[in-house]
Amino acid sequence: MKKQLFTLLLIPLSLGLVFCSGKDSQSETNYSGKNTPEIAQSESDQQWRLMTENEQNYEVLSLINHKMGIGALNQLALEGFISYDCEKSFYINDAYGGFQTLMRIKCNSPTGASSAISFNEVRVIFNRFEGNIEDFEIQRIGEEVDQSTFPLPD
């Protein structure tokens, strides 16, 4: 009886650990504001283009309907990047067949969660698999931080 009870308790715990240790909890967030050389090099070779209006509408719906999209938006809101002072633009990487998108937020006045360092721009790169957002990476760009960023079309 004790063995069966232990087994019944162990299965949900094991499943919880599997779900918690998946890609969702391993989202890369760059809190230092610095890109690693590997990321900067690989992304500089990529071709980003501005999304059309229809693609932007689909992207916004996609962000709202996926938990990783909501997580990214929550992080941006916590840091003060969701405001009327900030301008959003969306990009797509055609080299990956549309499975990699980027949301760029540029603010007129520097902002951020830290009072020590503020940022003028934030980029969120979303990676998808079969239409689902698998992970995202946040890059913070500011004047106070030495950044080697890749150019985006305006």
Identify whether 111 is part of a domain: yes
Question: How many angstroms separate the first and last alpha carbons of the chain?
Answer: 67
Identify whether 152 is part of a domain: no
pTM assigned to the model: 0.67
Q: Cα angle at 94 between 92 and 99, to 5 degrees?
A: 70
Q: Which residues of the chain have pLDDT under 50?
A: 1-41, 43-44
Identify whether 154 is part of a domain: no
Identify whether 26 is part of a domain: no
Digit-coded pLDDT (tens) for 61-89:
999 999 999 999 999 999 889 888 899 99
Residue 38 tokens, joined: 């590997």
Distance CA 60, CA 88 (A): 11
Identify whether 87 is part of a domain: yes
Q: Which of 64, 32, 1 is nearest to 137 (CA)?
A: 32
Identify whether 15 is part of a domain: no
Query: What sign does the CA torsion over 130, 135, 141, 146 have?
Result: negative
Give the range of the structural domain holding residue 131, as residue numbers without chain letter.
Answer: 38-141
Count up the domains in the chain and report the number.
1
Identify whether 108 is part of a domain: yes
Distance CA 1, CA 43 (A): 57
Identify whether 128 is part of a domain: yes
